[in-house]
Amino acid sequence: GKIGTDAHGAFFLDSLARLGIGTHFAQSATPTAQVACLITPDGERTMRTFLGSVPEMTGADVAQGLFEGTRLALIEGYTLPNDRLTHQSMLYARDAGTKIAFSLASFEIVEAFKDVIHSLIEEHVSIVFANEAEAHALHGLSPRYCCQELSRHCEIAVVSEGAQGCYVAWEGQVAHCPALPVKAVDCTGAGDLFAAGFLHGWLQGLDPETCGRIGCILGAAIVQVPGAILPEEQWPRIREELGVVGLMGH
């Protein structure tokens, strides 16, 4: 990413460091991006964005050795408007032997970069994440059939449909993972936590359907609290839920 040399950038770096997350940010004199997230009573959110230094980032900001020793890289579709950023990142990841997971970001991104997305998935991507709107913008099919179509061009395709759960397709198979019945307070971070759970399972060597179920459990957990970070006291219950359904050994 790219951040400004300002208080918001410093706060972001410090927050990630406290979570034990290493960072590789380019810095700019332009202010750090900010997002105002407005939550409606039904738990849905609307975001108003100040992009700040983000549009300045290009493929030239990605270090060639960035992905060395990395098993998996998650690359966001939001990088597509930045000059060669997505393509250069995927090339470096491929050269390092790193598997690539690709999130389609938003249906507006899909509509604007449809041909590029098709090409990137075909050439570089192992795991694709899309919600139903993004998948429909790409293929014009129902979530199940979009998932099947996507899986013809990558190893694993995942199409989420909110409160209905998700579809996962791989090696000619397709499975539906139901969502947990919970009351949504704030949907911010649902897709991020879902992807985190899915990829955690994948890195543990679990089958794609089980990975989808882990994703659904984490996605359901985050929508029950305000904000996009799960409170520490929630994790013992989540680990217990994962253990009860046989998804984790610890």
The amino acid at 38? L
Give 45-59 pLDDT, tens digit per residue: 898 999 999 999 999
* Overall average pLDDT of the 131-146 stretch: 96
The dihedrals phi and psi of 114, each to the nearest 5 degrees, come to: -55, -50
Query: Is pLDDT of 174 > 60?
Result: yes
Q: Which of 134, 155, 178 finishes a domain?
A: 178
| pLDDT value, residue 43 | 87
pLDDT score of 246: 63
**Same domain (yes/no): 167, 237:** no
Across the range 187-216, mean pLDDT stands at 95
* Shared-domain flag, residues 33 and 79: no
Cα dihedral across residues 229, 234, 237, 240: positive or negative:
positive
Residues 6+ apart with CB under 8 A from 96: 65, 67, 68, 69, 70
- Same-domain check for residues 229 and 199: yes
Residues 76, 135, single domain; the answer is yes
Q: Give dist(CA 208, CA 69) in Å, integer.
A: 23
Q: What is the mean pLDDT of the chain?
A: 94
Domain boundary residue, one of 130, 158, 178: 178
* C-alpha–C-alpha distance, residues 116 and 110, integer Å: 9
| Residue 39 predicted with pLDDT over 80 | yes
Q: Do residues 86 and 161 share a domain?
A: yes
Residue 209: give the domain boundaries: 180-250
Going by pLDDT thresholds of 50, 70 and 90, the confidence category of residue 65 is: very high
190 and 106 fall within a common domain = no
pLDDT category at 250 given cuts 50, 70, 90 is very low
pLDDT computed for residue 243 by the predictor? 83
Query: Which pLDDT does position 86 carry in this prediction?
Result: 96
Structural domains counted in the chain: 3
